[in-house]
Amino acid sequence: MKNFKFLFGLALFSLFISCKQEEKNTEYFNSNETGIKIGGVKMITIETPKGKFKVWTKRYGNNPKIKLLLLNGGPGMSHEYFECMESFLPKEGIEFIYYDQLGTGFSDNPNDTTMWDLPRYVEEVEQVRVALNLNKDNFYLLGHSWGGILGMQYALKYQQNMKGLIVSNMMASCPKYGEYSKVLEKQMNPDVLKTIKELEAKKDYSNPKYMELLMANFYNQHILRKPVNQWPEPVNRAFSRLNSSLYITMQGPSELGISGKLTNWDVSKELKNITIPTLVVGAKYDTMDPEYMKWMASQFPKGTYLYCANGSHMSLYDDQQTYMNGLIGFLKK
Q: Return the active site residues.
A: 145, 286, 313
> Strand pairing partners for 306?
281
Measured N-to-C along each axis, helices 118-131 and 146-158 cross at an angle, to the nearest 10 degrees, of 70
Which among 267, 266, 330 has a CA at the least distance from the CA of 302? 330
Say which residues have a Cβ less than 8 Å from residue 201's Cβ, sequence separation at least 6.
none
The closest of 162, 119, 128, 120 to 265, measured between CA atoms, is 119
Strand partners of residue 141: 69, 165
User: To 5 degrees, how large is the angle CA 130–CA 93–CA 297?
Assistant: 70
Cβ atoms of 74 and 243 closer than 8 Å: yes
